[in-house]
């Protein structure tokens, strides 16, 4: 059984519909740690050693966040900049994360057909996630297919619940495989 | 009523004149006393007894604030300083009295009586001036405490001095007059033991029961009863009630009801103590003084100088700094209220004749009345001279360093700034005006210069010409404003970061054109507020950002308000508006549930648009 670390970042979680439901559904899952970054570091002053310690204790890392401007909220970037140190996560001696698996759990406002070459955003979502994929490669980690909730602007409560259930299944598969 | 009216009239006047309330009470007493207006008179003696209750209560309160552990810590100054003061003064006065032809037992009694000082006047005066925690205040307290304790053996010894020929033939009704001298001594000690034992094993359970009823008045009543009954018990055995109360207080100092007892008795103490001071004022017999002015004045001056001289010498031995030592000597140079008790007691036991007693009573009262005046003179005349001198001697040789930052004032605020700069590798030249603090920091290895940063030459010596920044964090607003003015005038190139305590301070600094003002409690309060929000379940980031928004808005508002603060009506209205504005802003009435500066994360308009298009 793999241990999963969810690095959750939502600057306005109190307003969230989708992520609120996702997290509520997976609450208490065995082998899953939810680490709420904005709650832990409201001043963005990240404790690097603690974060690295958490990474070492888990096998699968998930960045869970809403998609803002084709990217993650500032906290995730801050986290990457500080925690993935040279010599620890990458570089000649940076092997701490070798072999771990990593990916994003994302909510996107628009529907999946907007993320097509002929769609509104002109690229598939995975194109925008290239920095995460390449980061994983640099850190000798394996980048998995992301879990995406599309079209959150139009989702009603029922479909959000459905999404949450499939999120739970997604985690179970990752954990038990 | 006359007393209350006199107090109401005189205290504000005395305060306004900077005389302190003690002197106000004394003056009030003199004016309404038999010698001047004669509003009160014949009942003066009775009143004195009643008012002595104020002293009793004060000592009870002092006792209750003194935990045995603290007493133990102070044992060196209490025993050393206090013991020596009593011994030396007693010896000196007794020798003089012998020379003046008094018999040995009377001389000894006089020595003991006059070696005491007034706990009531000294502690009250020093407390009002905030000098109780200074070196002089601490030493004075130790000596006074020893004196109050020394009254026990004195009272015990007096019957022995009286000799066996006198006995119970006097009017005093106390039980112990019927006992032989050694029996009286034993009885005194017995009473002390009774108080200690009863306090420990009887009172606490009783207090618990009374507190259990949760009737506040009952507790107050019991507190009073407690003090009264201790006094009665002590008077019964012919002991000083004040001392009994003090002991009772010490015994109860460790109990959990200490603060309740304190706050219950405090108001009574204040009033009765005032009454006591007035009674002292009223008891000054001007007819007697006028009949032999030079003798009495000479006695007062001579006695006070003698006592001050001995104290000065002791202060020197105990290494009290000169300016503090002077204060210490001046403060304790009078004769205390216990002297009244001891005088009448020694009269009753035939140690001293009536004529001597009445002269000395006048002398004691006058010396007590002089004390606040002397303290005032010290404060106005001597103290300023010393602080200037000390500055001169200490500044010249000490500042050799030059740093880009000067910190003026290294109290609790400047201290943190300094430590923060230091761990960031930025050294600062630090000036501070509190010599005790400077010495304490020296012992910790922190380089702090004693000096007044509101003086141009001092700043120059600290390298103000070449420095870039000055942090002003003085203890008082007045000092802060002084420094700011001097810096603006002589070192305009220095960037000033100034600490303010409250809103009026902030306004004054704004008037002086200071741009960087830091209200002492603003950030901490907001941090606390943010933590409170989190405890109510509000997200940490939200709370943190809102605290930041609040601070920014508040500082902005402060700038606007400064300009109109003299127009009271406009000011109040504007403050109301600002509060409303801020509340609206924070609650996000105009926008969403979230803080307006978080609009980018609000999807509502986006959602609306997306749904319309569908």
User: A57-66 pLDDT, tens per residue?
Assistant: 999 999 999 9
Which pLDDT band, with edges at 50, 70 and 90, does B49 fall under?
Answer: low
Check CB contact of A78 with chain B, cutoff 8 Å. Answer: no
B1: contact with A, CB 8 A cutoff: no
Nearest residue of B to residue A73, measured between CA atoms: B601
Residue ranges making up the domain that contains A137: 4-176
Q: Are B598 and A39 inside 8 Å of each other by CB?
A: no
| Confidence band of B44 (pLDDT split at 50, 70, 90) | low
User: Between residues B459 and B567, which one has the greater pLDDT?
Assistant: B459
Partners of A62 in beta bridges: A6, A103
Name the minimum distance, in Å, from the CA of A147 to any CA of chain B. 21
**Residue B389 confidence (pLDDT):** 44
Q: Which residue has the higher pLDDT, B200 or A54?
A: A54
pLDDT at A131 over 80: yes
Burial class (CB in 10 A: 0-12, 13-18, 19+), A85: middle
The closest alpha carbon to B481, from B513, B451, B458, belongs to B513
Q: Is the pLDDT of residue B171 over 50?
A: no
- Name which of A164, A118, A34, A114 is nearest B606 in CA terms: A114
Q: By mean pLDDT, which of B212-216, B455-459, B501-505 is the weakest?
A: B212-216
Does A38 reach chain B within 8 Å, measured CB to CB?
yes
Answer whether residue A121 shows pLDDT above 80. Answer: yes
User: Does residue B121 have a pLDDT over 60?
Assistant: yes
The minimum CA-CA distance between A166 and chain B, rounded to whole Å, is 23
Tens-digit pLDDT profile for residues B98-110: 888 888 888 888 8
Please state, in angstroms and rounded to a whole number, the distance separating the CA atoms of residues B531 and B533.
5
Please answer yes or no on whether A153 and B606 come within 8 Å at the CB atom.
yes
Query: Terminus-to-terminus CA distance in chain B, angstroms?
Result: 87
Q: Residue B553: what pLDDT?
A: 84
**Nearest-CA neighbor of B25 among B336, B241, B265, B270?**
B270
Q: Is the pLDDT of residue B259 over 80?
A: no
CATH number at residue A110: 3.40.50.360
Q: Say what the pLDDT of residue B397 is.
A: 34
pLDDT at A99: 94
The predicted pLDDT at position B593 comes to 44
Q: Does B318 touch chain A (CB under 8 A)?
A: no
Going by C-beta distance under 8 Å and a sequence separation of 6 or more, which residues neighbour residue B499? B409, B413, B414, B471, B472, B473, B474, B480, B518, B520
pLDDT-derived band at A134, boundaries 50, 70, 90: very high
Res B45: pLDDT = 60
B48 pLDDT tier (thresholds 50, 70, 90): low
State whether residue A154 sits within 8 Å of chain B by CB: yes
More confidently predicted of B593 and B414 = B414
pTM here is 0.54
Our count of domains for chain A comes to 1
Mean pLDDT along residues B211-224: 78
Find the range with the poorest average confidence among B235-244, B494-503, B529-538.
B235-244
Residue B6 CB neighbours (<10 A): 25
B543 CA: distance to closest CA in chain A (Å): 8
Give me the pLDDT at residue A158, please. Answer: 93
Q: How confident is the model at residue A30 (pLDDT cuts 50, 70, 90)?
A: very high
d(CA B22, CA B30): 12
Decide if A146 touches B, using CB distance below 8 A.
no
pLDDT digits (tens, 9 = 90+) for B556-584: 888 878 777 777 788 888 888 878 877 77
Shortest distance between the Cα of A176 and any Cα of chain B, in A, equals 32
Nearest Cβ partner of A39 from B541, B600, B602?
B541
Of the listed ranges B179-193, B426-440, B482-496, the least confidently predicted one is: B179-193
> Sorting pLDDT into bands at 50, 70 and 90, what band is B18?
low
Query: For B48-62, B131-145, B311-325, B365-379, which range has the lowest pLDDT when averaged over its residues?
Result: B48-62
Higher local confidence (pLDDT), B403 or B263? B403
What's the whole-number mean pLDDT along residues B18-39?
71
Test the A interface: residue of B530, B531, B533, B539 with most A CBs within 10 Å: B539
Q: CB pairs under 8 A, 24+ apart, for B162-168?
A: B162/B105, B162/B346, B162/B349, B162/B350, B162/B351, B163/B105, B166/B349, B166/B350
Question: Band of the pLDDT at B588, cuts 50, 70, 90?
Answer: low
Check CB contact under 8 Å for A153 and B541: no
Q: pLDDT at residue B589 above 70?
A: no
At residue A96, does pLDDT exceed 70?
Answer: yes
Which pLDDT score, from 0 to 100, does residue B105 have?
84
Say if residue B417 is exposed, middle or buried (CB neighbours under 10 Å; 0-12, 13-18, 19+): buried
Minimum mean pLDDT range among A126-130, B199-203, B414-418:
B199-203
Highest mean pLDDT among A11-15, A49-53, B53-57, B373-377: A49-53
CA distance, residue B603 to nearest chain A CA (Å): 8
Q: Would you call A153 and B594 a contact, using CB atoms and an 8 Å cutoff?
A: no
Is the pLDDT at B592 greater than 50? The verdict is no
């Amino acid at each position: 059984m793999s241990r999963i670390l969810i690095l959750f970042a939502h600057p306005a979680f109190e307003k969230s519909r989708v992520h609120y439901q996702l997290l509520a559904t997976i609450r208490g899952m065995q082998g899953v740690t939810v680490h709420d970054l904005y709650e832990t570091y409201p001043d963005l002053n990240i404790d690097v050693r603690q974060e690295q310690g958490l990474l070492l204790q888990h096998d699968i890392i998930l960045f869970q966040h809403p998609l803002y401007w084709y990217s993650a909220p500032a906290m995730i970037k801050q986290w990457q900049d500080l925690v993935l140190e040279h010599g620890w996560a990458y570089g000649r001696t940076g092997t701490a994360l070798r072999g771990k698996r990593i990916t994003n759990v994302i909510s996107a406002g628009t529907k999946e057909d907007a993320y097509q070459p002929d769609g509104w955003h002109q690229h598939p979502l995975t194109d925008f996630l290239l920095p995460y994929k390449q980061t994983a490669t640099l850190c000798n980690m394996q980048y998995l297919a992301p879990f995406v909730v599309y079209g959150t602007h139009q989702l009603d409560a029922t479909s959000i619940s459905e999404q949450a259930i499939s999120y739970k299944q997604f985690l179970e598969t990752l954990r038990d495989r | 009523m006359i007393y209350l009216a006199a107090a109401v009239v005189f205290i504000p006047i005395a305060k306004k004149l900077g005389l302190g309330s003690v002197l106000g009470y004394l003056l009030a007493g003199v004016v309404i006393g038999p010698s001047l207006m004669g509003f009160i008179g014949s009942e003066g003696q009775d009143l004195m007894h009643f008012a002595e209750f104020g002293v009793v209560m004060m000592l009870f309160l002092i006792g209750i604030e003194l935990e045995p552990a603290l007493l133990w810590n102070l044992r060196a100054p209490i025993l050393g300083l206090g013991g020596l003061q009593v011994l030396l003064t007693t010896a000196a006065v007794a020798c003089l009295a012998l020379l003046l032809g008094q018999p040995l037992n009377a001389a000894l009694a006089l020595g003991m009586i006059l070696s005491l000082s007034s706990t009531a006047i000294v502690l009250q005066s020093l407390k009002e001036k905030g000098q109780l925690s200074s070196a002089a205040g601490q030493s004075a307290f130790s000596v006074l405490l020893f004196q109050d304790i020394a009254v026990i053996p004195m009272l015990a010894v007096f019957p022995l001095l009286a000799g066996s020929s006198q006995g119970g033939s006097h009017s005093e009704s106390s039980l112990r007059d019927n006992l032989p001298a050694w029996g009286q001594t034993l009885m005194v000690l017995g009473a002390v033991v009774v108080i200690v034992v009863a306090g420990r094993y009887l009172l606490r359970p009783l207090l618990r029961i009374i507190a259990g009823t949760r009737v506040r008045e009952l507790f107050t009543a019991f507190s009073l009863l407690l003090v009264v009954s201790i006094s009665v018990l002590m008077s019964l055995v012919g002991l000083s009630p004040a001392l009994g109360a003090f002991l009772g207080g010490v015994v109860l100092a460790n109990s959990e009801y200490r603060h309740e007892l304190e706050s219950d008795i405090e108001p009574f103490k204040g009033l009765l103590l005032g009454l006591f001071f007035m009674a002292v004022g009223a008891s000054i017999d001007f007819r007697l003084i006028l009949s032999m002015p030079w003798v009495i004045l000479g006695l007062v001056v001579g006695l006070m100088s003698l006592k001050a001289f001995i104290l000065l010498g002791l202060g020197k031995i105990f290494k009290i700094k000169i300016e503090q030592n002077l204060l210490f000597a001046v403060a304790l140079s009078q004769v205390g209220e216990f002297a009244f008790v001891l005088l009448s007691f020694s009269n009753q036991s035939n140690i001293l004749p009536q004529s001597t007693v009445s002269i000395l009573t006048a002398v004691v009262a006058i010396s007590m009345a002089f004390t606040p005046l002397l303290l005032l003179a010290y404060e106005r005349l001597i103290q300023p001279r010393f602080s200037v001198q000390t500055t001169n001697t200490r500044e010249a040789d000490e500042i050799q360093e030059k740093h880009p930052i000067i910190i003026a004032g290294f109290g609790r605020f400047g201290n943190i700034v300094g430590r923060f700069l230091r761990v960031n590798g930025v050294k600062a030249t630090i000036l501070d005006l509190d010599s005790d603090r400077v010495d304490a920091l020296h012992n910790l290895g922190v380089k702090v210069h004693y000096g007044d940063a509101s003086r141009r030459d001092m700043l120059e010596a600290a390298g103000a010409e070449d420095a870039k920044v000055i942090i002003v964090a003085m203890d008082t607003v007045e000092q802060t404003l002084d420094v700011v003015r001097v810096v603006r005038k002589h070192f305009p190139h220095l960037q000033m970061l100034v600490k303010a305590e409250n809103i009026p301070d902030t306004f004054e600094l704004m008037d002086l054109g200071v741009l960087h003002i830091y209200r002492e409690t603003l950030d901490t309060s907001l941090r606390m507020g943010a933590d409170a929000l989190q405890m109510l379940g509000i997200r940490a980031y939200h709370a943190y950002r809102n605290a930041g928004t609040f601070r920014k808005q508040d500082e902005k508002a402060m700038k606007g308000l400064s300009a109109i603060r003299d127009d009271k009506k406009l000011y109040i209205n504007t403050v109301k508006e600002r509060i409303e504005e801020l509340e609206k802003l924070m609650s996000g009435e105009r926008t969403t549930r979230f803080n307006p500066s978080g609009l980018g994360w609000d999807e509502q308009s986006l959602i609306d648009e997306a749904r319309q298009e569908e």
